[in-house]
Structure 1
Amino acid sequence: MTGRPEPPAADAPAERLTVPLPGGAELAVFHRPAPAGAPLVVLWPALGVRARFYRRFAGALAAHGPGVAVVDLRGQGDSRPVPDSSARYGYHELATVDYPAVFTALRSRSPGSPVFLLGHSLGGQIGLMYAAGNPAGLDGILLVAAGTPHYRSFPGATALIPLLGTGTMAAVARLRGYWPGDVLGFAGRQSRVLVGDWARAARSGRFRPAGADVDWERRIAALRLPVLAVSVGNDRLAPRSAVDALCALMPDAGLARWHHAEPLGHTAWANRPEPIAREIGRWIHSTLAGEPWHAPAGGGHAVP
């Protein structure tokens, strides 16, 4: 037989991988392989969102051709250990330890495949840091409902959501030793350093995480990779203005912007995945072919 290999079925089971980290921590990765040479998309979740939540989206995206891997962030979902007062990792450690370990493991399983990073919310913020430090290792960046948490990028009174919300979380985390989101019902249990980095970015708009020994903002500003940034209707945690503000941090990137106007909010888009999965598939194909991508009719725009 000849022709293009068939993509994996949308309901094909994902293979669970374990990626070890220094110090004994482990990251859980759920990988849907694709035919040899097909693109690989690695999805990094929002804070407190398990990798398994994206199962429907991963299946829809895989049906458009790429292999898809979804990662449980450190301490979330099936990753171990669950953070306690001894946890001392934040944005910097995830960008310089966790993300590289996962990409190294997956590249060894998909040699020769173009590799794309897909970040949702905080997963996209840290993803930009990783990409800025490893631009040669990626073929493009996908951001879905990922904006800066800076309160000034939020419209009107909604600016109080990131300002007061993250500030309160950081204060509780300092007193408790970690953020007890598993008890309080928001964002899962988290390292106090990670929550502190998030709150600092919300107050200042700067990516200056604790313990960083590099100028992340300068590196992000120098990114020249292709980027597709998607905002979603009725998203109070990453409104269009916050997504635009995050995109503005990388003026030299090959940016395409699309607003998916359906009012799905910050996470529900993953349960109604086809429109976004389809456009990501189209954008990846256009990017690899060196052809222009055009936003679908009914909203959004492409930026040259």
Structure 2
Amino acid sequence: MSGPPGPAAADGPAERLTVALPDGAELAVLHWPGPAGAPLVVLWPALGVPARFYRRFAGALAGHGLGVAAVDLRGQGDSRPRPDSSARYGYHELATVDYPAVFDALRGRAPGSPVFLLGHSIGGQLGLMYAAGNPAGLSGILLVASGTPHFRSYPGLTALIPLLGTGAMAGVARLRGYWPGDLLGFAGRQSRVLVADWARMARTGRFRPAGADTDYERGIADLRLPVLAVSVGDDRLAPPGAVDALCALMPRAEVSRRHHAEPLGHTGWATRPGPVAGEIGRWIDTTLAGKPRPGPEGGGDAVS
């Protein structure tokens, strides 16, 4: 089991890795190595959120004896190049090119370690697509504040947020050639294909990204991995219903569902990491060893 390693592991500096992609793009990764053989948690962020934002959360996970890596999505944070009108990548390319390249690089640095995929928001949606094609390479999936953007899974008038919001973003991206979120203050600068894929899912609820001939929905439905899905209070972008709807796409998976009612919001859980990091640490111990490690309670309520 993973035990607390002491302050040094939680406070140690991150390795800065660069993962080269076939088209010349480079992904930036922050890696906090764990003890030899310790589980490795690979964190994939929300749109527009850089890997460095998760430093405090990574430290909390490291305090549970885990290795941690946080990835800058293509074009975000320290990854290069920035998207412009020539960018043509979307959900499919990230799930089939970017995710495999990063996992391959990290497995080389943590040989023999069980590997867990942690997806925040769109990072979890893409993570399920990756896992559908690579289930044997993962010991489990962690979804934090990650739900489907399908508008029908949102309560009341809040359904207009994903429906109209992503549609407007896709329209701007078509006109400009990319989504200028760095100027507009939301979701970062993004490929128009990626934003269009997001908007399509918000309208239809379907995993049908541009350029893909893969049946992602069937692959996700066939997943038999253990999954921990965590929602938090005051999260308008991934409310509990949207998280539940994403989990429902995995009827064969071993899904553990938790909700933290504390109003942490869509990103606040990463800056106040105790409850969610504690939940993850205990769940990983239970998943790998069949019994929980004694420790402070994280405040989660099991709902399934």
- What TM-score, normalized by structure 1, do the two folds share? 0.96
- The secondary structure found in structure 1 opposite 2:264 is coil
Q: Distance in 2 between matches of 1:283 and 1:293?
A: 9
1:6 aligns with 5
Structure 2 gaps of 5+ residues are none
Q: Distance in 2 between matches of 1:80 and 1:26?
A: 5
Aligned residues: 300
- Percent identical among aligned pairs is 80
Letter in 1 for 2:263: P
1:35 is displaced (CA, Å) by 1.1
Q: Distance in 2 between matches of 1:90 and 1:173?
A: 13
CA deviation profile, 1:116-152 (whole Å, cap 9, x unmatched):
0000000000000001110000000000000000000
1:301 is displaced (CA, Å) by 1.7
CA deviation profile, 1:149-199 (whole Å, cap 9, x unmatched):
000000000000000000000000000000000111111100000000000
Letter in 2 for 1:227: V
Contact 2:279 2:300 in 1 (8 A): no
Kindly report which structure 2 residues correspond to 1:123-162, keeping only aligned pairs within 5 A, or say none.
123-162=123-162
2:19 aligns with 19
1:298 is displaced (CA, Å) by 5.7
Structure 1 gaps of 5+ residues are none
Letter in 2 for 1:84: D
CA deviation profile, 1:213-242 (whole Å, cap 9, x unmatched):
110000000000000000000000000000
CA RMSD, Structure 1 to Structure 2 (Å): 1.7
CA deviation profile, 1:14-35 (whole Å, cap 9, x unmatched):
1100000011100000000011
CA deviation profile, 1:242-265 (whole Å, cap 9, x unmatched):
000000000110000000110011
Letter in 2 for 1:172: V
Q: Distance in 2 between matches of 1:4 and 1:170?
A: 46
1:219 aligns with 219
2:185 aligns with 185
Contact 1:234 1:264 in 2 (8 A): yes
Q: Does 1:60 find its partner at 2:53? A: no
CA deviation profile, 1:24-54 (whole Å, cap 9, x unmatched):
1000000000111000000000001000000
Contact 1:287 1:293 in 2 (8 A): no
Contact 1:119 1:146 in 2 (8 A): yes
Q: Distance in 1 between matches of 2:293 and 2:16?
A: 33
Letter in 2 for 1:6: P
> Structure 1 residues 4 and 127, CA, compared in 2 at 3 Å: closer, same or farther?
closer
1:6 is displaced (CA, Å) by 2.8
Kindly report which structure 2 residues correspond to 1:201-280, keeping only aligned pairs within 5 A, or say none.
201-280=201-280
Contact 1:293 1:302 in 2 (8 A): no
Which runs of structure 1 show a deviation greater than 6 angstroms over 4 or more consecutive aligned residues? none
2:116 aligns with 116
Letter in 2 for 1:243: V
Q: Distance in 1 between matches of 2:299 and 2:74?
A: 38
Q: Distance in 2 between matches of 1:258 and 1:191?
A: 33
Kindly report which structure 2 residues correspond to 1:18-97, keeping only aligned pairs within 5 A, or say none.
18-97=18-97
Contact 1:5 1:35 in 2 (8 A): no
1:297 is displaced (CA, Å) by 8.2
- The secondary structure found in structure 2 opposite 1:107 is helix
> Structure 1 residues 299 and 139, CA, compared in 2 at 3 Å: closer, same or farther?
closer
> Structure 1 residues 293 and 153, CA, compared in 2 at 3 Å: closer, same or farther?
farther
